[in-house]
Amino acid sequence: MRYLLALGLTISVLHAAQCKDPVWYEGVVVLESGELIKGNLSFPSFELVFAVTEQGERVALPVDKIKLIRCYDPLLNANRRFDSFPVDEGYHQTRKLFEVVVKGTVSVLRRPTNLYREISEIDHLDYNYYFLTKSQPIKEFRNFYGDGLNQMKIEVGDVITDYIRENHLRPTQMADIIMIVKFYNEVSIAPRVAAGPL
């Protein structure tokens, strides 16, 4: 009897989890054509976006039609940005949606490891992180030292090493890597001042 009760409870919980209402965000979608769609947005996956426009029209948007999405996430109390980028997949190119964590000379992007979970269910452990620069295509994080830190040191010198040391940052932790990339972006666009006698 207990077995049947436990089985019934498990099945009902799993069914309830699958039938829950989608999470909606207020935001805007910019299409590749330049058209703007304002309204409520839902991301059942990173492959498809649903929108209910301010006029009440319901629209399903595949990622290859989207340029970028901006929305407000009340759970995180933050504005979020998602961009669609071309990605090489074997012999052809497709567009994929990435959340923009840092935008600059070096951008940090992320995508969930499970594309079919609601965005609100995803925490920071469920993401794959990527680098993007103007000269290189999107590259998944594997080793920050090899993927970027050494190149950053070459370009801006010891200032980045000093920043890491002074702020007790660990270039193995994603939150610290993001801070390092933000600092690098600030330093790399600042005008260089040559030292010398006045």
| pTM for the predicted model, two decimal places | 0.76
Tell me which residue range forms the domain holding 176: 143-190
Same-domain pairing of 148 and 96? no
Q: Note whether 76 and 28 are same-domain residues.
A: yes
- Beta-carbon contacts of 30 under 8 Å, excluding residues fewer than 6 positions away, are 36, 66, 67, 68, 69
Element (H, E) at 102: strand 92-102
On whether both 122 and 180 belong to a single domain, the answer is no
Same domain, residue pair 137 and 147: no
pLDDT at res. 125: 58
pLDDT in tens, the chain (198 residues): 544 443 343 344 344 445 456 788 999 999 999 999 999 999 877 888 999 988 999 999 999 999 999 999 888 888 999 999 988 877 888 888 999 999 998 999 998 887 655 555 555 557 889 988 888 888 888 877 776 787 788 788 889 889 989 999 998 888 899 999 999 999 887 655 544 444
Same domain, 168 and 98: no
In a domain, 73, yes or no: yes
Say yes or no: 100 and 134 in one domain: yes
CB-side exposure of 137: number of CA atoms within 13 Å?
8
